[in-house]
Amino acid sequence: MDEEAIYDFPQSRAGDEHDLVAIGGNLSFGTLINAYTKGIFPWFNPGEIIQWFSPDPRFVLFPRKIKISHSMRNVFNKHLFNFTVDEAFNEVVRGCRFAKRDQGNKTWISDKIEKAYNDLFQRGFAHSAEAWQNNELVGGLYGVLIGKVFFGESMFSKKSNASKFAFIKFVKGLERNGIELIDCQVYTKHLDSLGAEFISKNEFNSLLKKLIPLEK
């Protein structure tokens, strides 16, 4: 298999009962960008063949609708964290990879995923947001930015509210820069509390066509 080949995905329609729409291919720069522009993202466990998903409905956040709770306003007022963008991309990805989760330490972020997204970062398409406390990275998130859409991939937190802090600050910055849609992929209670909502796959794909410029 040519690991640099660009696999051209058809426009995603219905997947199986798990929203799986394709299997195989590679994680080359061209393949990943092609997938994201069509509402498809890779999600598979280390050692498995690459699997591509496109959920229906889709969980998204419109930046203008972000919810900032009273408790989070207190976090901001107390200046508990410092915020940066793209200052520690590799560290954020690794923080997400090794974060403890409800189901244990199992993660889909493998060496292959790390390498692929670091390549996207080097090319200016992947970005990270960081929360710091006493010069220690205590939370953050990363994802892919294409056109006016940010495709969120993962987040982690070592301190209470650190990832929410980074997310809110990042979303506000994206909004100021004209970003109109944040793809959260699938439901989480964490993102629901911040204002994310479900839309249909058809609506999501229509938004992608509107917000991502066509290649010239």
Label each residue of 38-85 as H, E or C.
CCCEECCCCCCCCEEECCCCEEEECHHHCCCCHHHHHHHHCCCCEEEE
**What is the arithmetic mean of pLDDT over 153-176?**
97
pLDDT band at residue 216 under the 50/70/90 scheme: very low
* The predicted structure's pLDDT at residue 198: 98
Domain borders along the chain are: 59-211
pLDDT bracket for residue 102 (50, 70, 90) = low
Residue 95 pLDDT > 60, yes or no? yes
What is the average per-residue pLDDT within 69-92? Answer: 97
Residue 16 is predicted with a pLDDT of 61
pLDDT, greater one: 4 or 198: 198
- Check residue 8 and give its pLDDT: 87
Predicted local confidence at residue 214, as pLDDT: 76
Q: Is the dihedral of CA 90, 97, 137, 64 positive or negative?
A: positive
Pairing of strands 181-185, 149-157: parallel
CATH class of 59-211: alpha beta
* Average of per-residue pLDDT across 171-187: 97
Residue 187 has pLDDT above 70, yes or no: yes
Q: Look at residue 101 in the predicted model and tell me its pLDDT.
A: 61
CA 45 to chain CA mean position, Å: 17
Report percent pLDDT > 90 for the chain.
83
Higher pLDDT, 197 or 1: 197
Give the pLDDT score at 161.
Answer: 96
Residue 79 has pLDDT above 70, yes or no: yes
In this structure, the chain runs to a length of 216
